[in-house]
Structure 1
Amino acid sequence: MELAELAAALRAEARRTNQRRLLVLHGERDACLDAAFTVVEAADVDDGTALLSTREGFRFERHRPKHASRLLGTTREAVILDAFAEFSPNAVGRSVGAVDGGGLFVLLAPPLEEWPDRRDDFDESLAVPPFGLDDVSGRFRRRFVETLRTHPGVAIGSVDPDGGPDDGIERDGLTGGEAPPPEPGPTTPASPLFPGVAYESCLTRDQSRALSSLEALSDPGSAVVVEADRGRGKSSAAGLAAASLAAAGRDVLVTAPSFAGASALFERARALLADLDVAVPVDGDRRIEVASSGVGASGTEVTDGATRRGRIRYLPPAEAVDAAGDADVAVADEAAALPVRLLAGLLDAPAAAFVTTVHGYEGAGRGFSVRFRDRLDESDRRVTDVRMDDPIRYARGDPVEGWAFRALMLDARPAVAAAVEDATPETVDYRAVDADDLLADEHLLSEAFGLLVLAHYRTEPDDLARLLDAPNLSLRALTHEGHVVSVALLAREGGLDATTREAMYDGERVRGNMLPDVLTSQLRDPDAAAPTGMRVMRIATHHAVRSRGLGSQLLRTIEREVGDDVDYLGTGFGATPDLLDFWADNGYRTVHLATTRNAASGEHSALMVTPTSDDGRAFARRHGRWFRERIDAVLSDALCDLDPDVVRAALAACDAAGHAVVDVSEYEWRLTVAAAYGPGLADMAPRPFRRLALAHLLDGECDLAAREERLLVRKVLQAHDWVSVTDELDYVSTAECMRSLGRALQPLVDRYGDEVALHERERYE
C-alpha cells in the first residue's frame, strides 16, 4: 500500500465511523513535509487544514507549535504537527483536540528509532543551569513512540528521503470500524425555564441535560457543577445558559484561566442571543451587554419593576472574585485550572456554576473534585451535579482520544482509596523514585503523576515530560503495600558559577532556579545562587489518608536523605494561612512575600527555606533578617491589601531570633504607652506602634486573640482607615475599634517596654 492510498483509506474509515485517525510520517524533515501535502490531497481534505511548524511558506493555515493554543475551541478536518524543531506534549494535546470527527491528525517526526536521542527547542527549556542540553534525557519520547507503535488507530509510515513511491508503511492504523449507531438526540424539558431555542441548539442529549441542570442558576443559593472530558460541549452548554439568563435580565459574570479559554462559551452565547433577537453590544472590555425587553427567557415577564439590563461579562479570575458579590450568576469555565481559593470566592455570587474538564491540559478534574468539592459541600448551596459523556466532535470510542489520554497521561490517577486507606506513618516505605523506574512501571507512573496532578490547580502534559526528562528534577514517595500515598517533586537549584550569578544579578533570567533568581534579581543578593538548594515544587498526599502526618513525614525523610548534599531546602507557593502553617510546622521559615499577585491564582507567593549546612544557615539568616527589616514598610505599601491572616502566618513563620528588643525612643514610648493605657492616639506616630506590632507577630509571646492580631495588621501595619477596619473586623463602632487597639497594645507594652515605658505606664495605672 502506498502512502496516498493509506491516507485515503484512513480518511474513509474516519468518516465512516465519525472518529479520527492518526498518521505518523517519520524520516527526513523536508520529505515528511512534502509527504504531508500528499496525505492531505489524497485524503480529500478541503481547506480545513492547520499546520503547526516553525517552517514558513505553506499554503495551509500555519502556527508555531508553541502557539497551538490558538486552535482551542476550533475544529479542522486535518491538523499537521511538525515535531522536528519544537515538539512539546502541550502542542500535541492542544492540536489533536482540534481535529473533527472524520478527520486526520498527521504527526511529522524524525526516524522513530532515533527520535528519543534527538534534542530540540523544548529540550533546551528543560536544560536548566547548571545542567546542559546533554543532561536532558529522552524518556518521554521513548514512551511516546511506544504508544504510537502499539495503540489502535495509529498508522506509521517511513518516508523515503527522495520522495519516491516506496515509502514504508509500518502500520496501517485501520481498525475495521463501522458506522456507530445514532446517539440519542437532545430533548427539551416539559416546562423549561430557558427558551426552547436554547434546547434546540444543543447537539447531544447530554448537552440538553446539562443545560436543564443549569436552569438551577435562576434561583439564588444554587450551585451547578458540570464535568466532562474535552469535546463534550460543556462550555457551549454554559454559554447557552449564560445567554438565557442574560436575556432574562441577569448579570452573568464569567471567568476562566484566560479569555481565550472561554471563547466557546461566548461564541455560543452570542449565537443564541442573536436567535432570540436580543441586542448584543460588545464593548472594549470584552463584555457582552444585553438590554432586556422586560420578557424573561421562558417568555414570562420580568417582575422586578423597571426593565432590567442583563449582561454577560468576562473578568480574570482574581478580579472576578472581587466582583462576584455584585453579579447575579458567576460561571467558572475550566474551573479545575483555578485555585480553590478563587473558586470559593465565586460563591459570593447568589448562584454559581463550575464547568470543568475531567481529563486535559486545561486542568485536572479529579483535583477539582477532591480539593474543591469538600468546600462546596460544606457551603449552604443547593448543589446540582451533571456529568457529560457523549462526544460532540467525534463518535464514542475514538481511538485517537484514547491514544492521547495514554500518551499524555491525561487520565493519570492516584491509587484507589481502598488500597491506601490503612496507611499510617508506621506502615509506609520511603523511596527515591528514579525516572527510569517511572518509565518502566506504568502503574507507578500513573499513581505518582496522578497525585502530582491533585497537588496543583494546573498540571499540563509538559509536566509529564519534565518529570521524565528534566535533569534538575527528582521524585520522592511514601508507599503503602506498593501504592503511592504521598509524593514530592524536587528541583535542584543554585550552585551556579560566578559568571552565571553575575548575569542573574544584572537581570538575566536563569530557568529552573526560582528561589535563587528571586533572591538575586529582586532582592539584590549577589551570592544567593551560590549555595545549592533543593526546592519542593509540589507535595501531595492521597486524599484518603490526609491529616495523618504523612506529608510531614515525607518532608522530614527527604531532609535526612539530601541534607548532606545540599545547603538548604526551599519552597515557593501561593500563600494561604494553612499552607504557611504547614511549612512552618515542618521547619521552613519565611524569607519573602511577593508584592504582586499571581495572575492565575490571585495569591501572593511566599518563599520559605530550611537550612541543612553552615552555608545554608548563613543564607537563611541573611534573608530572614532582610525580610524582617523590610516587611513593615512593604505592608503599608505594596502589601497593604494582603489578607491579614496571611500576614500573621507569614510573620509567625519567620525566624525571629534577636527580635526581643524593640527600637523605640523615649519620646515614642510616651506616645505608645499613652495610646495603650491613657488618652493617646495611635495615629499620632505610626512608627513605634509598627515596631511593637511587628515584634509580637514575629515572636508571638503575647497572648492576643486572632481578632486582635488582625487589628494590629490592618490598622497598624497596613494603615487602613478606622471606618474600613471597624467594618471588616465587625466592631460595633469606630470608638470600640479604637479602644480595642489600645487594649491589644497593653500586653505589648508590658512585654517589650523598657524602664521609660514601664514608668510611664504607672502614670495611668
Structure 2
Amino acid sequence: MDLRGLVTDLRDNAAAANERRLLALTGDREVGLDAAYTTIEAAGVDDAAVSLVTTREGFKYHRLHPDHADELMGTTREIVVFDCHEGFSANALGQVTGAVDGGGLLVLLLPPLEDVPTQLTALVDQVAVPPFSRDEVGNRFRQRLVTTLRQHPGVAIARLSTTTPDSSEPEYEASIERDGLIEPVESTPTSEPHVYTDTPFPAAAYEACRTGDQARAVAGLSVLATPGNAVVVEADRGRGKSSAAGLAAAALAADGRDGLVTAPAVDNAAELFERARELLTTLNCLDTEDATDDDSDDRTDPPLATTTGGQIRFESPLDAATLPDQPDVVLVDEAAALPVRLLERLLDAPAVGFCTTVHGYEGSGRGFAVRFRERLAESAHDVTDIELREPIRYAQDDPVEAWLAWTLLLDAEPPADQLVADATPDTVRYRRLSADDLVNDEELFRSVVGLLVAAHYRTEPDDLVRLLDAPNLELRALTHDGHPVSVALLAREGGLSSDQQDAIYRGQRVQGNMLPDVLTSQLRDPTAADPVGYRVMRIATHHAARSRGLGSELLARCHAEFGDDVDWFGVGFGATPRLLSFWQANGYQTVHLSVTRNATSGEHSALMLRPCSPAGEALAEWHSRWFRERIAGQLGDALSSLDPDVVRAALRAASLTDDMAGGIDLDDRGWRLLAGVAYGPGTYEASPHVFRQVTMAHLLEPIAELSPRQERLLVRKVLQNKPWASVAAELDFVSERQCKREFGTIATRFCEAVDNDVVADEQARYET
C-alpha cells in the first residue's frame, strides 16, 4: 500500500464510523512536508478545510505558527497537519487535535520514531532552565509520545525515506508501519434534538441544536431567565457546551435581557458569540444598525444588540467581576480556567451560568467542581447541573480523542475519596517521587497529576513535560496506604553565575528562576540570584482530606529533608488572606506584593521566603525589611485598591522574627497627638502621620486589641487614603461621623496598651 492508498483507506475508515484518524509521517522534515501535500491531495478536501501548524512559511493552505495553535480552538478542519520538527509543545498538540472534525485526519510530521526521544528540541528549550544544562533535560515525555503512537488504535505510521537526497525537491518512498484502520463496529448514534415547549426559549433555539444532549443543555440554561438561578454545564471538549451557551444567550437577549459573557480570553468565547449571532438572525431580531463595516474577525465588538432591547456583551474576567452596568445574566465560558475567588464575585449577578471543560487543555472541570462547588452551594442561587456526553463533531468512542487523553493525561483523576478519607498526619508516609517512579507506575502518575490539576486552575499539558523532564523540579508526596494524598512540586532556583545575575539585573529574563528574577530585576538586589532555594510551584491536598494539617505536614517534611543544604524556600501566588496566613503559619515571610493585578485572577501576587541558612536569612531579612519600608507608600498609590484583609495578612507575615518587631516609636509630640485623639479634642486630620506610624507598627506586630473592622478602617483610611464616605459605606458604619469617632476608640486602645509617661500626663490633663 502506498501513501495515497493509505490516506484513502483512513478517510473511508474514519468517515464510516464518524471518527478521526491520526497519521504520523516520520522521517526527514522536507520530505515530510512534501508527503503532507500528497496526503492533502489524496484526501480530496477543499483548501479551506486544511490547516498547517508549522514554523515554516509559504504554503497555499491556512498556516499557523505553533505558538498560535490556540487559534484553532473552536474551529473545525478536515485535515490538520502539525509539523512537530520545530516549535512542538504539548499544549499545541492538544489544541491542534481538537480542531479535527469527524472523518478527518490529524497528520503529525515527526522524525523517525526511534529518534524522537533525542529530537523535538523545542521541548528541551521549554524546560532547560539555568543553571542546568540542556544535557540534563530528560526525554520521558518524548518516549511516552512514541509509545502511544505505536500502541494506540486509530494511529497510522508511514516511514518516509529519501530516494533522491541531492535533489532540491526530494522524492520519497513511504513504508507503512501501521495502517491505523479499525474494524468497523456499530457506533451509538447521537440523539436527535427535542423542542422543550415548557421553557421560555423559542423553538428555534432547540432546532439549532446538533444533538439531543445539547438541546437538553439549552433547556437547562433556560432557568437563567429567572433571577436566583445558577447553572453549571460540564463536558469534555467537542460536546457543544459553548454552542449551547451561545444559543441560550441569544434566547435571553431576544427576550430583552442584558447578557454579560466572560472567558479567559475573548477568543475562547468566539463559538458562543457565533452561535448567538446565528440564532438572533434566525429570530430576525439582531440589531445591525451599529454593526461595523470592517472585515474584523472579532465577533464580540460591538456587542450583539437586539431589536427587543437586549444585548450580549463581552468583558474580561477581571472587569466582568465588577458586574458593569448590572447585567441580568452572566455566562462564563471555560470557567475552570478562572480562579475560584474571581468566580465567587460573579455570584452577585441575578443569574449566572458556568460552562467548563472537564478534561481540557487549560484548566480542569474536576478542579472547578471540587473547589468551587462549596461556594456555589453556599450562595443564594438555586443550582442546576448539566453534563454533556455526546460529541458534536465525531463519535463517542473516537480513538484520536482517547489517544490524546492517554498521551497528555487529560483524564487524570485524584485517588477515589474513600481511599484517602481517613488520612491524617499520623497515617501518612513521606515519599520522594522521581520522574522514573511516575513513568513506571501509571496509576501513581495519574493520581499525582489528578491532584495537581484539581488544585490549580491553570494546569496544562506543558506541565506534564516539566513534571517528567525538567531537571530543576522535585516532587514530594504524602501517601496514605500507598495513595498520594498531598503533593508538592518544588522548583530549584538561584545559584546563577555572576554573568547571569548581571543579565537579570539589566532586565534580561532568565527562564525558570521566578523568585530571583523579581528580587533582582524589580527590587534591584544585584546578588539575589546567588543563594539557592526551592520555590513551591504547586502544593495540593486531596479534597477528601483537607483541613487536617496535611499541607503543613508535607511542607515541614520538605523543610526537614533539605535542611540547610539550600538557602531558602519560597512561594509566589495570588494573594488572599487565607493563603497568606497559611504560608505565614509555615514560617514564610512576605517580601513583595506586585503593584498590578493579574489579568486573569484579578489578584496581586505575593512573594514569600522561608530562610534555611545564614545566606537565606540575610536575603529574607533584607527583602522583608525593604518590603516594610516601602509598602506604606505603595498603599497610598499603586496598591490603594488592595483588599484591606490582604494588607493585614501580608504585613502580619512580614514580621516573623523578634528583631523585626519594633513597637510604636513616637516622640513626645507624637504621643501627645495620639492621646489628644484618645482622651481630648484631637482629630485624625491633625495627626495622619502619627496614625500611619502607629498603624504600620500594629499591623506588623499587634500592639492593642483591635477588631478586624478597626484594622480595616486603619488600612483604608490611614494607609490607602480613602475618603471618609467610601470608608464608612464599605465598613458598614451608619455615618461618616460614627466612622470618625471610631478613631477615638482606636487611639484609646493604643494608649492603654503602652506604659508611657507622656500619655499618662495627657490622660490626667483631660480627666481633671
- Give the TM interval when normalised to the shorter protein: over 0.9
Find the counterpart in structure 2 of residue 686 from structure 1. 688
Q: Verify the 8 A CA contact 1:722 1:734 in the aligned structure 2.
A: yes
Superposed CA offset, 1:162-184 (max 9, x none): 36564221111101225635322
Q: Verify the 8 A CA contact 2:84 2:120 in the aligned structure 1.
A: no
Find the counterpart in structure 2 of residue 431 from structure 1. 431
CA distance in 2, matches of 1:265, 1:362: 18
Deviates more, 1:663-672 or 1:616-625: 663-672
Displacement, 1:676? Answer: 2.7
Q: 1:269 and 2:276 equivalent?
A: yes
Q: 2:216 aligns with which of 202, 209, 228?
A: 209
Find the counterpart in structure 2 of residue 627 from structure 1. 627
Displacement, 1:161? Answer: 2.2
Deviates more, 1:119-128 or 1:244-253: 119-128
Displacement, 1:623? Answer: 0.7
User: AA paired with 1:11?
Assistant: R
Find the counterpart in structure 2 of residue 297 from structure 1. none
State the SS of the aligned residue for 1:323: coil
State the SS of the aligned residue for 2:552: helix
Q: Verify the 8 A CA contact 2:162 2:172 in the aligned structure 1.
A: no
Q: 1:288 aligns with which of 303, 324, 327?
A: 303
Q: Aligned runs of 1:142-153 on 2, under 5 Å?
A: 142-153=143-154
Superposed CA offset, 1:358-403 (max 9, x none): 0011310000000001110111210000000010011110000000
Find the counterpart in structure 1 of residue 668 from structure 2. 666
User: AA paired with 2:583?
Assistant: W
State the SS of the aligned residue for 1:504: helix
Find the counterpart in structure 2 of residue 236 from structure 1. 243
Q: Aligned runs of 1:215-234 on 2, under 5 Å?
A: 215-234=222-241
User: AA paired with 1:741?
Assistant: F
Q: Verify the 8 A CA contact 1:2 1:165 in the aligned structure 2.
A: no
CA distance in 2, matches of 1:677, 1:134: 71
Q: Verify the 8 A CA contact 1:99 1:105 in the aligned structure 2.
A: yes
Distance 1:69 1:282, change over 3 A: farther
Q: Aligned runs of 1:521-560 on 2, under 5 Å?
A: 521-560=521-560
State the SS of the aligned residue for 1:516: helix
Q: Verify the 8 A CA contact 1:11 1:102 in the aligned structure 2.
A: yes
Find the counterpart in structure 2 of residue 257 from structure 1. 264
Find the counterpart in structure 2 of residue 566 from structure 1. 566
Q: Verify the 8 A CA contact 1:505 1:520 in the aligned structure 2.
A: yes
User: AA paired with 1:639?
Assistant: L
Q: Aligned runs of 1:579-598 on 2, under 5 Å?
A: 579-598=579-598
Q: 1:157 and 2:119 equivalent?
A: no
Equivalent residues, number: 750
User: AA paired with 1:464?
Assistant: L
Q: Aligned runs of 1:318-337 on 2, under 5 Å?
A: 318-323=318-323, 326-337=326-337
Superposed CA offset, 1:595-651 (max 9, x none): 110111110111111101000011111011001101111111111111111111111
State the SS of the aligned residue for 1:175: coil
Find the counterpart in structure 2 of residue 76 from structure 1. 77
Q: 1:452 and 2:452 equivalent?
A: yes
Find the counterpart in structure 2 of residue 311 from structure 1. 311
Displacement, 1:72? Answer: 1.2
Superposed CA offset, 1:536-574 (max 9, x none): 011000011111111110000000011232100000000
Q: Give TM-score, length-normalised by structure 2.
A: 0.96
Find the counterpart in structure 2 of residue 306 from structure 1. none
Distance 1:291 1:396, change over 3 A: closer
State the SS of the aligned residue for 1:326: coil
Find the counterpart in structure 2 of residue 698 from structure 1. 700
CA distance in 2, matches of 1:517, 1:107: 37
State the SS of the aligned residue for 2:189: coil
Superposed CA offset, 1:502-526 (max 9, x none): 1111111111111111111111111
CA distance in 1, matches of 2:617, 2:337: 37
User: AA paired with 1:5?
Assistant: G
Q: Verify the 8 A CA contact 1:253 1:327 in the aligned structure 2.
A: yes
Q: Verify the 8 A CA contact 2:229 2:351 in the aligned structure 1.
A: yes
Q: State the Cα RMSD in Å.
A: 1.5
Displacement, 1:19? Answer: 0.6
State the SS of the aligned residue for 1:114: helix
Displacement, 1:108? Answer: 0.6
State the SS of the aligned residue for 1:496: coil
Find the counterpart in structure 1 of residue 125 from structure 2. 124
User: AA paired with 1:685?
Assistant: S
Q: Verify the 8 A CA contact 1:23 1:104 in the aligned structure 2.
A: yes
CA distance in 2, matches of 1:490, 1:758: 53
Find the counterpart in structure 2 of residue 746 from structure 1. 748
Superposed CA offset, 1:245-266 (max 9, x none): 1111111111100000111111
Deviates more, 1:682-691 or 1:18-27: 682-691
User: AA paired with 1:671?
Assistant: L
Superposed CA offset, 1:647-673 (max 9, x none): 111111112533334343433333222
- Deviation above 6 Å: which 4+ runs of structure 1? none
Find the counterpart in structure 2 of residue 141 from structure 1. 142
Deviates more, 1:119-128 or 1:393-402: 119-128
CA distance in 2, matches of 1:261, 1:758: 65
Q: Give TM-score, length-normalised by structure 1.
A: 0.96
Equivalent pairs: percent with the same residue? 56
State the SS of the aligned residue for 2:377: helix
Find the counterpart in structure 2 of residue 519 from structure 1. 519
Q: 1:177 and 2:178 equivalent?
A: no
Q: Verify the 8 A CA contact 1:22 1:400 in the aligned structure 2.
A: yes
Q: Verify the 8 A CA contact 1:660 1:752 in the aligned structure 2.
A: no
State the SS of the aligned residue for 1:155: strand
State the SS of the aligned residue for 1:59: coil
Distance 1:538 1:632, change over 3 A: same
Q: Verify the 8 A CA contact 2:277 2:304 in the aligned structure 1.
A: no
CA distance in 1, matches of 2:189, 2:122: 45
CA distance in 2, matches of 1:582, 1:61: 50
User: AA paired with 1:30?
Assistant: E
Deviates more, 1:653-662 or 1:267-276: 653-662
CA distance in 2, matches of 1:27, 1:758: 88
Find the counterpart in structure 2 of residue 102 from structure 1. 103
Displacement, 1:325? Answer: 7.5
Displacement, 1:213? Answer: 0.4
State the SS of the aligned residue for 1:159: strand
CA distance in 2, matches of 1:447, 1:183: 32
Superposed CA offset, 1:63-113 (max 9, x none): 111110111111000000000011100111000000000100000111111
Distance 1:286 1:754, change over 3 A: farther
User: AA paired with 1:383?
Assistant: V
Q: Verify the 8 A CA contact 1:568 1:610 in the aligned structure 2.
A: yes
User: AA paired with 2:265?
Assistant: S
Deviates more, 1:120-129 or 1:726-735: 120-129
CA distance in 1, matches of 2:152, 2:475: 28
Displacement, 1:200? Answer: 0.8
Deviates more, 1:163-172 or 1:237-246: 163-172
Q: Aligned runs of 1:327-406 on 2, under 5 Å?
A: 327-406=327-406
Displacement, 1:425? Answer: 0.9
CA distance in 1, matches of 2:588, 2:172: 64
Q: Verify the 8 A CA contact 2:162 2:173 in the aligned structure 1.
A: no
Q: Verify the 8 A CA contact 1:325 1:349 in the aligned structure 2.
A: no
User: AA paired with 2:763?
Assistant: R
Q: Verify the 8 A CA contact 1:325 1:348 in the aligned structure 2.
A: no
Q: Verify the 8 A CA contact 2:663 2:701 in the aligned structure 1.
A: no
Find the counterpart in structure 2 of residue 193 from structure 1. 200
State the SS of the aligned residue for 2:555: helix
Q: 1:636 and 2:636 equivalent?
A: yes
Find the counterpart in structure 1 of residue 766 from structure 2. 764
Find the counterpart in structure 1 of residue 34 from structure 2. 34
Q: Verify the 8 A CA contact 2:528 2:619 in the aligned structure 1.
A: yes
State the SS of the aligned residue for 1:730: coil
User: AA paired with 1:599?
Assistant: A
User: AA paired with 2:267?
Assistant: A
CA distance in 1, matches of 2:383, 2:667: 58
In the alignment, structure 2 segments of 5+ residues that lack a partner are 164-169, 293-297
CA distance in 1, matches of 2:700, 2:64: 52
Q: 1:714 and 2:696 equivalent?
A: no
Q: Verify the 8 A CA contact 1:324 1:345 in the aligned structure 2.
A: no
In the alignment, structure 1 segments of 5+ residues that lack a partner are 294-308
User: AA paired with 1:51?
Assistant: L
Find the counterpart in structure 1 of residue 412 from structure 2. 412
